[in-house]
Structure 1
Amino acid sequence: MKTLKKSGHGKRAFVQFVTLMSLIAGHTIAQAAFQLPEGEKITNPIVIGRGIPQKESYEPFDPKIGRNFDLKNLWMRADLRVRPEFRNNVCFGGGIGAGGNCNTLSTSGLTSITGTANDQFVQQMTRLGIGYDLSPDINFYLEFIDSRTWGGNGSPVGAGGGGGNGDPIIHTCGSTPSAGGRPVCSLGIRAGYMLIRNLAGIQGLGLKAGRQYIVFGDQSLFGHFDWANTGFSFDGVMVQYSHSIMDTHAGWFRTAETDLVQGAPLGSGNPNITGTGQAKNGAGDADLFILYNQIKAVPGFLIEPFYVYYKNNLGGGDISGQGLGTPKHGNQTRHTLGTRVAMKKGYFDASSEVVYQFGQMGDTAASASGLCGDPGGEGKCLHINAWATRNWIGYTAFNLPGKPRIAFNFDYASGDGRANCTLNGAYGDCRTANTFENFFPTNHIHMGYMDVMAWKNMMSFSGNFQARLTPDDHIEVWYTNLHLANARDNWYRASQGVYVFSRPDNTVTHIGDEISFVWTHFFMNGMVAFQGGYGHLFPGPYISHNLGRNAVGQDWAYAQLWINF
């Protein structure tokens, strides 16, 4: 047996223990010697920044939470959708670019992309909303959303065959950051807000603060866009006042935020975007102000005058990659005035919306910024003068089996023949930015279900037929004739990016003709819906002329199963 050598470790440990206990005892005596005035107590022995208390009361001005919970005031909503989607000849017989464009434009000219653009994928959307009514006038709501493409969690390819193909074992955010430096996540917050009705005791006055949906009118400018797997929602505050003759909504929303390093809210050392010019300061943000009214005083009519102020202080070179028609182009001040009138009388219904936009825009390209005498600078030298209109009229035979409905539509949105002037000198000198801004719409319910057209630089005529074959079956047939409003401006797809760059000498405007069929079947008392759809786009002369090849028709189909409660 080995004999252990004695060491001084035990003695040193005993001395350290005695010293520590002496310090603690001395601290206790010192605390006891300090006498608080009667009725007072120490509320912050440890400095912790806090904006809202824990469950126990913290200060008299803090709201009391945690002790007034009642299970009967808790409610939930949820839905889940699975949708396989197919699209052949996305670029009409050619390849597709990273931005969804079928050709590219540079200083050297237009180039058609080679390849075959066919695609098939399955998307899944899951939403879970949790609400709690503190009182009839106070509501808390939080909605989670998980958006995923089947098989998309892992890295299917990698350098030297190093792809992980790890979707089955990865259930959280991806490990590879996106192009913007953020983790690739599928789970997020679609909505999270507080809703206060009858604010300050004023009947009909409400306030909603937090992340929220914005849906107005026919969703031409602001919609939920729930056809997409994520849809739109906004961070901001909306005040509403409701009266028997009119409802008024006024809101401010921040759509982009940049920060100086010392102002980074989460301790990050970098701004959210590497900008140019005025974007390199704390005011390089984008804000949206909305004033929307609904006048209900005329029987059978709804009149909706509105005003939108969009201020984008991001640099003119930050968001400009597709020319002056780039959606939400940087460095712009845009005013939008519009009115929508909806009518429903007997078997007839109609809707007409007219929108006008004006303001100024800047672009760091010398062809645009040079107009202000500062090539490469941030001057707003381009004038905005854009407009759009949307018109529907329909007839529903409520007295016939299936309640068939037929409707006709005309849509128009302005373009600008100089929209590509910052990309190529052949398009002429920059002067204006008259391509209509589509903002944040649900374009899927307008201009054909195939989502090949945005409400910008376009003109379309549509015919639509719907019927209920049974109480649980609905069919729809939709024909749309598609044109450009300005031949030298581009064709913009429903996501508002460029689909096809137009040639500088283009005079052809007929894009093509789309026909779509959709069938929906409800079962399980309406809690489950199956929907299938098919569409075909017959190409017009514009596509062949601007892609430089014979265009092939595009096919699109999907099937989706959607449950909700």
Structure 2
Amino acid sequence: MNIARTCQQLALTALLGASAATGLHAQYAPPPPPRPFPGFINEKLRATDVYMSAWDIAVNLRGRYEYKNNAGFTDAGSNWDFSTRPQDDNDNAYYLLRAMPRVAYTGKWFAATVEGRSSYSIGDERYLATAPGKALAERDGPIDLHQAFVFIGNHKEFPVSLKLGRQELVYGDQRLVGHFRWNNNARTFDALKVRWQNAIFGVDVFTGGVVYNDHNNGNDFNSQDLFSGAYFNFPTVSTKDIVEAYVFARNTARGIVTDDWSGVPAPFRFPAPQDLYTWGLRLKSKPAAYDAWDYGIELMYQTGNKATVFPATAVAAARTAPRLDHSAYAGILQLGYTWTEHAWQPRLALIYSHGSGDDNAADAKSQTFQNLFPTNHLFYGYMDLSSLQNTQDLRLAYTFKPKPTLSVALEGHVQQLTETTDYWYNVAGVPRNFTTTAVGSGSGYRINPSYDAGLGYEADLVVGYSVTHYAQLELGLSHYFRGDYIKQSLRTVGSRDASYAYFQLTLNL
């Protein structure tokens, strides 16, 4: 795949489409409601008693219908995405429902939040056969605890604050750490976070663990899978730029591997034992700092060690697997331009994402960048086929707002493997066909250095409309055009392109 030539073709296609549609819009963001709305309960309470403004009592409801053709994450799994084998049912259509009620209080020196989550999937074929009753996709029973934390501090009067309990961690653009609210279950951590903030710099220092979903059994974090970090921001370094730096540590003990590990599908399965350290620098322009132009740069480097990955059924082997020295990197470059004088505020952006892969699977080194806890749905195509592991993604995004309550985004992605000596990893960071060792060339995804690196091209259209102050609609249409790597990997079993569509309603009550 000639990535430069493809970039030119994508740019020309997008610009022609933009002129035909009289303007279009970049990195999609849902439109805001016509007016700020705290929710029906809050509105009534605050109208009755002004002191109730310290309280936040509301519920967020969301329903989404999804249709996936030829890449449906069914029981065949992502190992057989795009496959036309008769036994591979790659089509999937289902409904997702989620209710998130919350009660929060904010005082001068003290705040607290309790937020529940009730998630259901209807008609979903994902994971049902491999783990009945254990890890049903995107559901966790009638009600579970999403967040429950206390906050102590007041940065206007004192530089130190503390946040303790179940909470969301969101840093930067969420490429490494995010709440992943697109998923019906979302993501939280049981963590302790201390923040220091003054006029020169601020830093979050935290430690804890990601909360694993356990259907109908209550969700909890595993003390043998610890995630810690320090995230710095420097507001005085530049008046035009956001400057941030960070270090994250994920330390997973061998005891994480249990007999239950074999029955739980990814991404709910515990990770391999590892001690990984990610160092990063993030630079981004502030709004309107460079007139119509904006930019973003993020550089990441990983060190440490990681256990070799074994098939999910080989629990004993996973417990004693040797650890490989780990050295990996990733980088993001972004440039955007907004026609600020146009009423529709059209913006064109070009984003290049690069995650390292392993250039020699036979040596005692690990070079595949680990994606940690990202919200990948925002970056590498709305079909959620890839992550930032051994992947290069060139993204052209064009957005516009015909009305303040209407957003439209048209995007194109060119994707390829960084190294053909490594796997194609799915959106959860799991290698495709890793457990299939008996396939021949052209019979399934695997490491084959003779294959082309080109994965394919994805085209996305997303439209968001704020119907009223408490209701928003969203529609998405996507198509993935296979590249040579997919065609070669499935040559003997057959393959075809994939499509995706969704329709979503969100109510803030």
| Superposition TM-score, scaled by structure 1 size | 0.68
Asked if 1:132 corresponds to 2:105, the answer is yes
Q: Tell me by how many angstroms 1:523 deviates.
A: 2.1
Q: Distance in 2 between matches of 1:190 and 1:376?
A: 31
The structure 1 residue matched to 2:350, chosen from 394, 408, 413, is 408
Question: Which residue pairs with 2:314 in the alignment?
Answer: none
Q: Tell me by how many angstroms 1:474 deviates.
A: 0.9
Residue 379 to residue 479, structure 1, CA distance change in 2 (3 Å): closer
The structure 1 residue matched to 2:70, chosen from 56, 80, 89, is 89
Question: Which residue pairs with 2:34 in the alignment?
Answer: none
Q: Distance in 2 between matches of 1:146 and 1:336?
A: 33
Asked if 1:531 corresponds to 2:487, the answer is no
Q: In the alignment, residue 398 of structure 2 is paired with which amino acid?
A: F
The structure 2 residue matched to 1:342, chosen from 278, 284, 291, is 284
Deviations 1:488-522 (A, max 9, x none): 31112222223453234443110100000011111
Question: Which residue pairs with 2:143 in the alignment?
Answer: 187
Q: Tell me by how many angstroms 1:307 deviates.
A: 0.5
Question: Which residue pairs with 1:457 in the alignment?
Answer: 390
The structure 1 residue matched to 2:61, chosen from 70, 76, 80, is 80
SS at match of 1:491: coil
Deviations 1:373-409 (A, max 9, x none): xx98747541101110112111111111200000001
Question: Is the 8 Å Cα contact of residues 124 and 147 (structure 1) preserved in structure 2?
Answer: yes
Asked if 1:481 corresponds to 2:426, the answer is no
Question: Which residue pairs with 1:160 in the alignment?
Answer: none
Residue 377 to residue 126, structure 1, CA distance change in 2 (3 Å): closer
Q: Tell me by how many angstroms 1:564 deviates.
A: 1.3
Deviations 1:7-26 (A, max 9, x none): xxxxxxxxxxxxxxxxxxxx
Question: Which residue pairs with 1:353 in the alignment?
Answer: 298
Q: Distance in 2 between matches of 1:223 and 1:86?
A: 25
Q: Distance in 1 between matches of 2:319 and 2:181?
A: 39
Question: Which residue pairs with 1:306 in the alignment?
Answer: 246
Asked if 1:100 corresponds to 2:78, the answer is yes
Q: Tell me by how many angstroms 1:101 deviates.
A: 2.1
Q: In the alignment, residue 305 of structure 1 is paired with which amino acid?
A: A
SS at match of 2:176: coil
SS at match of 2:366: coil
SS at match of 2:79: coil
| Superposition TM-score, scaled by structure 2 size | 0.75
Q: Distance in 1 between matches of 2:172 and 2:308?
A: 32
Question: Is the 8 Å Cα contact of residues 187 and 210 (structure 2) preserved in structure 1?
Answer: no
Question: Which residue pairs with 1:63 in the alignment?
Answer: none
1:196-275 equivalences under 5 Å are 196-198=152-154, 203-255=158-210
Question: Is the 8 Å Cα contact of residues 343 and 349 (structure 1) preserved in structure 2?
Answer: yes
Q: In the alignment, residue 80 of structure 2 is paired with which amino acid?
A: C
Residue 321 to residue 498, structure 1, CA distance change in 2 (3 Å): farther
Question: Is the 8 Å Cα contact of residues 363 and 378 (structure 1) preserved in structure 2?
Answer: no
SS at match of 2:383: coil
Q: Distance in 2 between matches of 1:536 and 1:399?
A: 33
Question: Is the 8 Å Cα contact of residues 365 and 376 (structure 1) preserved in structure 2?
Answer: yes
Asked if 1:517 corresponds to 2:497, the answer is no
Question: Is the 8 Å Cα contact of residues 189 and 211 (structure 2) preserved in structure 1?
Answer: no
Question: Which residue pairs with 1:31 in the alignment?
Answer: none
Q: Tell me by how many angstroms 1:99 deviates.
A: 4.3
Residue 321 to residue 540, structure 1, CA distance change in 2 (3 Å): farther
Q: Tell me by how many angstroms 1:364 deviates.
A: 8.2
The count of residues paired between Structure 1 and Structure 2 equals: 425
Q: In the alignment, residue 225 of structure 2 is paired with which amino acid?
A: A
Q: Which has the larger radius of gyration?
A: 1
Residue 179 to residue 513, structure 1, CA distance change in 2 (3 Å): closer
Q: Distance in 1 between matches of 2:309 and 2:240?
A: 50
CA RMSD of aligned residues (A): 3.6
SS at match of 1:221: coil
Q: Distance in 1 between matches of 2:508 and 2:135?
A: 34
Q: Tell me by how many angstroms 1:252 deviates.
A: 0.3
Gaps of 5+ in 1: 1-69, 104-110, 158-175, 258-265, 267-271, 274-282, 367-374, 420-428
Q: In the alignment, residue 122 of structure 2 is paired with which amino acid?
A: W
Q: Distance in 2 between matches of 1:466 and 1:437?
A: 30
Q: Tell me by how many angstroms 1:327 deviates.
A: 8.6
Q: Distance in 2 between matches of 1:129 and 1:396?
A: 37
Q: Distance in 1 between matches of 2:283 and 2:263?
A: 36
More moved, 393-402 vs 498-507:
498-507
Residue 179 to residue 343, structure 1, CA distance change in 2 (3 Å): closer
Larger relative contact order (CA 8 Å, sep ≥ 6): 2
Residue 543 to residue 97, structure 1, CA distance change in 2 (3 Å): farther
Question: Is the 8 Å Cα contact of residues 176 and 374 (structure 2) preserved in structure 1?
Answer: yes
Residue 365 to residue 141, structure 1, CA distance change in 2 (3 Å): closer
Deviations 1:451-482 (A, max 9, x none): 11101110011100000011221110000001
Residue 196 to residue 335, structure 1, CA distance change in 2 (3 Å): same
Residue 523 to residue 381, structure 1, CA distance change in 2 (3 Å): closer
Question: Is the 8 Å Cα contact of residues 87 and 556 (structure 1) preserved in structure 2?
Answer: yes
Gaps of 5+ in 2: 1-50, 312-316, 434-444
Asked if 1:562 corresponds to 2:506, the answer is yes
Q: Distance in 2 between matches of 1:99 and 1:553?
A: 16
Deviations 1:170-207 (A, max 9, x none): xxxxxx84269xx96242111100011149x9713111
SS at match of 2:377: helix
Question: Which residue pairs with 1:121 in the alignment?
Answer: 94
Residue 112 to residue 327, structure 1, CA distance change in 2 (3 Å): farther
Q: Tell me by how many angstroms 1:355 deviates.
A: 0.5
Question: Is the 8 Å Cα contact of residues 406 and 464 (structure 1) preserved in structure 2?
Answer: yes
The structure 2 residue matched to 1:503, chosen from 430, 437, 447, is 447
Asked if 1:362 corresponds to 2:362, the answer is no
Q: Tell me by how many angstroms 1:363 deviates.
A: 3.9
Residue 390 to residue 320, structure 1, CA distance change in 2 (3 Å): farther
Q: Tell me by how many angstroms 1:316 deviates.
A: 8.1
Question: Is the 8 Å Cα contact of residues 255 and 319 (structure 2) preserved in structure 1?
Answer: no
Deviations 1:269-309 (A, max 9, x none): xxx99xxxxxxxxx971111110011111111011110011
